[in-house]
């Protein structure tokens, strides 16, 4: 990898001028600095870039000619990148429509959107919440530009980029006898009533955890909101399975909840950045994606 683009520019100046002396003068640096840059690249790549002739100055060798052509492209790409990166911070403006799985939206989206607003004040954003299927359909239908969701509902028309993953855990009331264990087996849970978050894809995912081990849970309630799940569990009306790890382990009523690890090895859920496959990323969607990566870089699940 080329570490020092400035030294590459010294070589190009020498090639353009055909003279180390004139290159140094144009660059306003010393002649030894230009000579050292040329020598460094020649030693690194194992061939001579220039033939040095006292009467005619510098002439490019055949491999040197190829080197200079590729160096010009590299420096141009670097300049283009620099202008683009500067533009993201200074000139980025417009609107982005963001989709999000409505269960995780209140926990995942605020830090992303607040960071986006702080870094790109001229960018407006609209939030479109939905279940896993709706989030994917909104992306494919052009309603949203990008989404933050689980990759549980896969679709060939969508590309997913993992931000972080969350292992499943069991939610129990503080009075449940199983809270005395560090980890709970699915075999212990099938004797108890279950509070199932009954949403497209999500409900089947939780039931499949049991089916993988030849078990059938006893479903008592099928709420469609995560907070209703937590409320029912907190008053001892059953257990539930969840991915989200909340900062506050209390229901709306203030009743405590206990989270315990599951003994059996179960697949984690991945929170991902999702975009339509084959779509061309705009500068705004690129900026949004980078904000997501920065906010959740090596982050623990919320």
pLDDT tens profile 164-175: 888 999 999 999
CATH architecture of 5-90: Orthogonal Bundle (1.10)
More confident residue, 87 or 10: 10
Mean pLDDT (the chain) is 87
Position 82 scores a pLDDT of 64
Q: What is the pLDDT of residues 14-23, one digit of tens each?
A: 988 899 999 9
For residue range 28-68, list pLDDT tens digits in order.
Answer: 899 999 999 999 999 998 999 999 887 778 889 999 988 98
Residues carrying CATH 1.10.10.10, the chain:
5-90
Domain span(s) for CATH 3.40.190.10 in the chain:
94-164+271-295, 169-262
Confidence at residue 157, expressed as pLDDT on a 0 to 100 scale: 86
What is the tens place of the pLDDT at every residue in 86-98? 555 456 778 888 9
The larger pLDDT score, comparing residue 156 to residue 160, is at: 160
In angstroms, the CA 108 to CA 210 distance is: 28
User: What are the CA-CA distances from residue 106 to residues 55, 202, 230 (Å)?
Assistant: 74, 17, 15
Q: How far is CA 29 from CA 2, 20, 40, 79, 258, in A?
A: 21, 11, 17, 21, 67
User: Per CATH, the architecture of 169-262 is what?
Assistant: 3-Layer(aba) Sandwich (3.40)
Residue 215: band (very low, low, confident or very high) from pLDDT cuts 50, 70, 90: very high
DSSP, collapsed to helix, strand or coil, labels residue 127 as strand
Q: Which residue has the higher pLDDT, 89 or 124?
A: 124
CATH topology assigned to domain 94-164+271-295: D-Maltodextrin-Binding Protein; domain 2 (3.40.190)
- Does the global pTM surpass 0.75? no
Task: Give the residues across from 173 on adjacent strands.
Answer: 257
Residue-level pLDDT at 4: 76
pLDDT exceeds 60 at position 250 = yes
């Amino acid at each position: 990898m080329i570490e020092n683009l400035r030294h590459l520019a010294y070589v190009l100046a020498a090639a353009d001028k055909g003279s180390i002396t004139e290159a140094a003068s144009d660059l306003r640096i010393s002649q030894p600095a230009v000579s050292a840059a040329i020598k460094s690249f020649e030693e690194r790549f194992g061939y001579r870039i220039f033939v040095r002739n006292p009467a005619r100055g510098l002439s490019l060798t055949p491999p040197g000619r190829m080197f200079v052509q590729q160096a010009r492209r590299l420096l141009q790409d670097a300049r283009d990148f620099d202008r683009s990166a500067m533009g993201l911070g200074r000139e980025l403006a417009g609107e982005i429509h963001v989709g999000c799985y409505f269960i995780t939206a209140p926990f995942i989206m605020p830090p992303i959107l607040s960071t986006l607003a702080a870094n790109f004040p001229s960018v407006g954003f609209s939030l479109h919440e939905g279940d896993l299927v709706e989030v994917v359909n909104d992306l494919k239908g052009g309603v949203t530009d990008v989404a933050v969701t689980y990759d549980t509902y896969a679709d060939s028309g969508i590309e997913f980029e993992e931000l972080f993953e969350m292992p499943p855990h069991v939610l129990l009331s503080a009075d449940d006898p199983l809270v005395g264990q560090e980890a709970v087996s699915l075999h212990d849970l099938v004797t108890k009533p279950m509070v199932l978050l009954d949403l497209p894809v999500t409900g089947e995912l939780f039931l499949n955890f049991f089916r993988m081990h030849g078990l059938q849970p006893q479903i008592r309630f099928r709420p469609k909101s995560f907070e209703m799940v937590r409320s029912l569990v907190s008053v001892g009306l059953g257990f539930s399975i969840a991915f989200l790890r909340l900062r506050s382990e209390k229901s709306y009523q203030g009743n405590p909840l206990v989270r315990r690890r599951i003994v059996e090895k179960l697949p984690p859920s991945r929170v991902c950045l999702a975009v339509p496959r084959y779509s061309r990323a705009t500068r705004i969607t690129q900026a949004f994606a980078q904000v997501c990566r920065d906010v959740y870089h090596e982050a623990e699940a919320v």
